[in-house]
A and B are shown apart, each in its own frame.
Chain A
Protein backbone atom coordinates (compact mmCIF):
# COMPACT_ATOMS: atom_id res chain seq x y z
CA UNK A 1 0.00 0.00 0.00
CA UNK A 2 1.33 3.40 -0.97
CA UNK A 3 1.99 5.87 1.85
CA UNK A 4 0.53 9.38 1.86
CA UNK A 5 3.99 10.91 1.46
CA UNK A 6 4.58 8.76 -1.61
CA UNK A 7 1.28 9.80 -3.21
CA UNK A 8 1.92 13.45 -2.35
CA UNK A 9 5.32 13.36 -4.07
CA UNK A 10 3.84 11.73 -7.15
CA UNK A 11 1.13 14.41 -7.37
CA UNK A 12 3.80 17.12 -6.99
CA UNK A 13 5.53 15.58 -10.02
CA UNK A 14 2.35 15.76 -12.09
CA UNK A 15 1.70 19.36 -11.01
CA UNK A 16 5.24 20.44 -12.00
CA UNK A 17 4.92 18.60 -15.30
CA UNK A 18 1.63 20.42 -16.01
CA UNK A 19 3.18 23.78 -15.16
CA UNK A 20 6.18 23.08 -17.43
CA UNK A 21 3.94 22.13 -20.35
CA UNK A 22 1.88 25.27 -19.71
CA UNK A 23 5.05 27.37 -19.86
CA UNK A 24 6.11 25.68 -23.13
CA UNK A 25 2.68 26.35 -24.69
CA UNK A 26 2.84 30.05 -23.74
CA UNK A 27 6.45 30.22 -25.02
CA UNK A 28 5.38 28.62 -28.28
CA UNK A 29 2.54 31.13 -28.63
CA UNK A 30 4.94 34.05 -28.11
CA UNK A 31 7.48 32.55 -30.49
CA UNK A 32 5.06 31.84 -33.33
CA UNK A 33 2.46 34.62 -33.02
CA UNK A 34 4.49 37.60 -31.85
CA UNK A 35 7.18 38.36 -34.39
CA UNK A 36 9.15 41.05 -32.59
CA UNK A 37 9.81 42.04 -29.01
CA UNK A 38 8.86 38.65 -27.54
CA UNK A 39 12.33 37.81 -26.26
CA UNK A 40 11.99 39.38 -22.77
CA UNK A 41 8.92 37.21 -22.14
CA UNK A 42 10.75 34.14 -23.46
CA UNK A 43 13.66 34.81 -21.09
CA UNK A 44 11.32 35.11 -18.08
CA UNK A 45 9.45 31.93 -19.08
CA UNK A 46 12.68 29.98 -19.59
CA UNK A 47 13.94 30.94 -16.13
CA UNK A 48 10.56 30.07 -14.61
CA UNK A 49 10.70 26.60 -16.20
CA UNK A 50 14.29 26.06 -15.08
CA UNK A 51 13.38 27.12 -11.53
CA UNK A 52 10.55 24.57 -11.41
CA UNK A 53 12.87 21.74 -12.49
CA UNK A 54 15.72 22.80 -10.19
CA UNK A 55 13.41 23.17 -7.17
CA UNK A 56 11.01 20.26 -7.48
CA UNK A 57 12.73 17.66 -9.67
CA UNK A 58 16.37 18.27 -8.74
CA UNK A 59 15.74 19.33 -5.11
CA UNK A 60 18.35 22.09 -5.15
CA UNK A 61 17.27 22.94 -1.60
CA UNK A 62 19.06 19.77 -0.42
CA UNK A 63 22.35 21.61 -0.88
CA UNK A 64 21.61 23.70 2.20
CA UNK A 65 21.02 20.60 4.31
CA UNK A 66 23.59 18.49 6.09
CA UNK A 67 22.33 15.33 4.39
CA UNK A 68 20.69 14.03 7.56
CA UNK A 69 17.27 14.08 5.87
CA UNK A 70 18.80 11.59 3.48
CA UNK A 71 16.85 10.82 0.32
CA UNK A 72 13.32 11.60 1.34
CA UNK A 73 13.17 15.27 0.51
CA UNK A 74 9.96 16.38 -1.13
Chain B
Protein backbone atom coordinates (compact mmCIF):
# COMPACT_ATOMS: atom_id res chain seq x y z
CA UNK B 1 0.00 0.00 0.00
CA UNK B 2 2.83 2.37 0.99
CA UNK B 3 4.73 1.41 -2.16
CA UNK B 4 1.73 2.26 -4.36
CA UNK B 5 1.44 5.63 -2.59
CA UNK B 6 5.17 6.29 -3.15
CA UNK B 7 4.89 5.49 -6.87
CA UNK B 8 1.87 7.79 -7.15
CA UNK B 9 3.69 10.56 -5.28
CA UNK B 10 6.75 10.22 -7.54
CA UNK B 11 4.60 10.37 -10.66
CA UNK B 12 2.82 13.47 -9.35
CA UNK B 13 6.13 15.15 -8.53
CA UNK B 14 7.50 14.32 -11.99
CA UNK B 15 4.41 15.81 -13.67
CA UNK B 16 4.82 19.02 -11.61
CA UNK B 17 8.54 19.21 -12.44
CA UNK B 18 7.79 18.86 -16.14
CA UNK B 19 5.10 21.52 -16.02
CA UNK B 20 7.51 23.90 -14.27
CA UNK B 21 10.20 23.27 -16.87
CA UNK B 22 7.79 23.90 -19.75
CA UNK B 23 6.63 27.15 -18.13
CA UNK B 24 10.30 28.17 -17.98
CA UNK B 25 10.64 27.37 -21.71
CA UNK B 26 7.52 29.44 -22.39
CA UNK B 27 9.00 32.45 -20.58
CA UNK B 28 12.28 32.02 -22.49
CA UNK B 29 10.43 31.82 -25.80
CA UNK B 30 8.86 35.23 -25.06
CA UNK B 31 12.35 36.71 -24.79
CA UNK B 32 13.55 35.20 -28.07
CA UNK B 33 10.25 36.03 -29.84
CA UNK B 34 10.67 39.68 -28.83
CA UNK B 35 14.21 39.70 -30.24
CA UNK B 36 13.05 38.08 -33.50
CA UNK B 37 10.22 40.59 -33.86
CA UNK B 38 12.75 43.37 -33.30
CA UNK B 39 14.83 41.99 -36.17
CA UNK B 40 11.93 42.35 -38.62
CA UNK B 41 10.66 45.62 -37.13
CA UNK B 42 14.03 47.38 -37.47
CA UNK B 43 15.43 45.76 -40.61
CA UNK B 44 12.47 44.26 -42.45
CA UNK B 45 13.67 41.21 -44.39
CA UNK B 46 16.94 42.80 -45.50
CA UNK B 47 20.33 41.37 -44.53
CA UNK B 48 23.95 42.12 -45.44
CA UNK B 49 25.17 40.24 -48.51
CA UNK B 50 28.48 39.54 -46.71
CA UNK B 51 26.75 37.29 -44.17
CA UNK B 52 28.48 33.88 -44.13
CA UNK B 53 25.55 31.58 -45.01
CA UNK B 54 27.61 28.37 -45.38
CA UNK B 55 29.01 28.88 -41.88
CA UNK B 56 25.48 29.45 -40.54
CA UNK B 57 24.36 26.22 -42.20
CA UNK B 58 27.37 24.32 -40.83
CA UNK B 59 26.76 25.39 -37.22
CA UNK B 60 23.05 24.55 -37.65
CA UNK B 61 24.10 21.03 -38.66
CA UNK B 62 26.36 20.79 -35.59
CA UNK B 63 23.58 21.90 -33.22
CA UNK B 64 21.03 19.48 -34.71
CA UNK B 65 23.59 16.67 -34.44
CA UNK B 66 24.11 17.60 -30.78
CA UNK B 67 20.35 17.26 -30.24
CA UNK B 68 20.56 13.71 -31.60
CA UNK B 69 23.39 12.80 -29.20
CA UNK B 70 21.48 14.40 -26.30
CA UNK B 71 18.40 12.36 -27.25
CA UNK B 72 20.52 9.19 -27.38
CA UNK B 73 21.94 10.00 -23.94
CA UNK B 74 18.48 10.37 -22.42
CA UNK B 75 17.25 7.21 -24.15
CA UNK B 76 20.30 5.32 -22.88
CA UNK B 77 19.82 6.29 -19.22
CA UNK B 78 16.10 5.51 -19.50
CA UNK B 79 17.15 1.95 -20.40
CA UNK B 80 19.98 1.64 -17.89
CA UNK B 81 22.84 1.95 -20.43
CA UNK B 82 25.10 4.23 -18.37
CA UNK B 83 28.22 3.94 -20.54
CA UNK B 84 26.30 4.94 -23.65
CA UNK B 85 24.66 7.75 -21.67
CA UNK B 86 28.00 9.23 -20.56
CA UNK B 87 29.54 8.85 -24.02
CA UNK B 88 26.65 10.70 -25.69
CA UNK B 89 26.64 13.46 -23.10
CA UNK B 90 30.35 13.95 -23.86
CA UNK B 91 29.62 14.10 -27.62
CA UNK B 92 26.89 16.69 -26.96
CA UNK B 93 29.30 18.86 -24.97
CA UNK B 94 31.96 18.65 -27.69
CA UNK B 95 29.42 19.55 -30.39
CA UNK B 96 28.20 22.45 -28.24
CA UNK B 97 31.78 23.74 -27.98
CA UNK B 98 32.17 23.36 -31.76
CA UNK B 99 28.97 25.37 -32.25
CA UNK B 100 30.31 28.14 -29.99
CA UNK B 101 33.58 28.15 -31.95
CA UNK B 102 31.53 28.61 -35.15
CA UNK B 103 29.63 31.51 -33.60
CA UNK B 104 32.97 33.01 -32.50
CA UNK B 105 34.24 32.79 -36.07
CA UNK B 106 31.06 34.42 -37.35
CA UNK B 107 31.42 37.18 -34.75
CA UNK B 108 35.01 37.90 -35.79
CA UNK B 109 33.80 38.38 -39.39
CA UNK B 110 30.69 40.26 -38.26
CA UNK B 111 32.58 42.87 -36.23
CA UNK B 112 34.42 43.82 -39.42
CA UNK B 113 31.51 43.62 -41.90
CA UNK B 114 28.47 44.77 -39.88
CA UNK B 115 29.61 46.10 -36.47
CA UNK B 116 27.19 46.27 -33.53
CA UNK B 117 26.76 50.01 -34.08
CA UNK B 118 24.86 49.23 -37.33
CA UNK B 119 21.18 48.25 -37.42
CA UNK B 120 21.67 44.66 -38.53
CA UNK B 121 24.80 44.29 -36.38
CA UNK B 122 22.83 45.22 -33.24
CA UNK B 123 20.23 42.56 -33.95
CA UNK B 124 22.73 39.95 -35.09
CA UNK B 125 25.00 40.23 -32.07
CA UNK B 126 22.12 40.46 -29.58
CA UNK B 127 20.28 37.42 -30.96
CA UNK B 128 23.32 35.20 -31.49
CA UNK B 129 24.87 36.44 -28.23
CA UNK B 130 21.79 35.55 -26.14
CA UNK B 131 21.55 32.20 -27.89
CA UNK B 132 25.27 31.42 -27.48
CA UNK B 133 24.96 32.23 -23.76
CA UNK B 134 22.16 29.65 -23.51
CA UNK B 135 24.36 27.10 -25.32
CA UNK B 136 27.18 27.89 -22.87
CA UNK B 137 24.95 27.36 -19.81
CA UNK B 138 23.67 24.15 -21.41
CA UNK B 139 27.25 22.91 -21.77
CA UNK B 140 27.90 23.67 -18.09
CA UNK B 141 24.75 21.78 -17.07
CA UNK B 142 25.71 18.79 -19.25
CA UNK B 143 29.21 18.83 -17.74
CA UNK B 144 27.67 18.47 -14.27
CA UNK B 145 26.09 15.20 -15.43
CA UNK B 146 29.55 13.86 -16.25
CA UNK B 147 31.09 14.63 -12.86
CA UNK B 148 32.42 11.49 -11.14
CA UNK B 149 30.11 11.87 -8.15
CA UNK B 150 27.08 11.65 -10.47
CA UNK B 151 28.12 8.19 -11.63
CA UNK B 152 25.41 5.66 -10.84
CA UNK B 153 23.05 8.34 -9.53
CA UNK B 154 20.56 8.17 -12.40
CA UNK B 155 18.46 5.07 -12.99
CA UNK B 156 15.79 4.14 -15.56
CA UNK B 157 13.11 5.03 -12.97
CA UNK B 158 14.75 8.16 -11.62
CA UNK B 159 16.59 10.43 -14.03
CA UNK B 160 14.71 13.70 -13.88
CA UNK B 161 17.99 15.65 -13.73
CA UNK B 162 19.08 14.20 -17.07
CA UNK B 163 15.66 14.70 -18.64
CA UNK B 164 15.51 18.38 -17.60
CA UNK B 165 19.00 19.25 -18.88
CA UNK B 166 18.52 17.36 -22.15
CA UNK B 167 15.17 19.08 -22.69
CA UNK B 168 16.86 22.43 -22.09
CA UNK B 169 19.44 21.50 -24.74
CA UNK B 170 16.68 20.66 -27.22
CA UNK B 171 14.97 23.95 -26.41
CA UNK B 172 18.16 25.81 -27.36
CA UNK B 173 18.04 23.89 -30.66
CA UNK B 174 14.39 24.91 -31.24
CA UNK B 175 15.36 28.56 -30.75
CA UNK B 176 18.15 28.21 -33.33
CA UNK B 177 15.69 26.64 -35.80
CA UNK B 178 14.03 30.10 -35.90
CA UNK B 179 17.16 32.25 -35.57
CA UNK B 180 19.01 30.66 -38.49
CA UNK B 181 16.47 31.48 -41.24
CA UNK B 182 15.59 34.85 -39.66
CA UNK B 183 19.20 36.06 -39.71
CA UNK B 184 20.90 34.13 -42.50
CA UNK B 185 18.27 33.25 -45.09
CA UNK B 186 15.37 35.71 -45.20
CA UNK B 187 15.84 38.37 -47.83
Q: A28-B53, A70-B11 are in contact. Are A49 and B177 (CB under 8 A)?
A: yes
Alpha-carbon separation in the docked complex, A36 to B185 (Å):
11
Are A63 and B18 in contact (CB-based, < 8 A)?
Answer: yes
Select which of B11, B18, B67, B187 is within 8 A of A17 by beta carbon. B67
Alpha-carbon separation in the docked complex, A68 to B79 (Å):
17
Query: Which of B116-124, B127-135, B140-148, B155-163 has 4 or more CB atoms under 8 Å from chain A?
Result: B155-163
Q: Among residues 135 to 187 in chain B, which have CB atoms less than 8 Å away from a CB atom of chain A? A: 156-157, 159-160, 163, 167, 170-171, 173-174, 177-178, 180-181, 184-187
Total contacts A-B at CB 8 Å: 111
Alpha-carbon separation in the docked complex, A39 to B44 (Å):
11
Q: Is B87 an interface residue (CB 8 A)?
A: no
Q: A21-B61, A57-B67, A67-B12 are in contact. Are A31 and B184 (CB under 8 A)?
A: yes
- Contact surface of A with B, Cβ cutoff 8 Å: 2-3, 5-6, 9-10, 13-14, 16-17, 20-21, 24, 27-28, 30-32, 35-36, 38-39, 42-43, 45-46, 49-50, 53-54, 56-58, 60, 62-63, 65-68, 70-72
Contact partners of B61 in chain A: CB under 8 A: 21, 24
Alpha-carbon separation in the docked complex, A70 to B14 (Å):
8
Alpha-carbon separation in the docked complex, A70 to B158 (Å):
9
Are B186 and A31 in contact (CB-based, < 8 A)?
Answer: yes
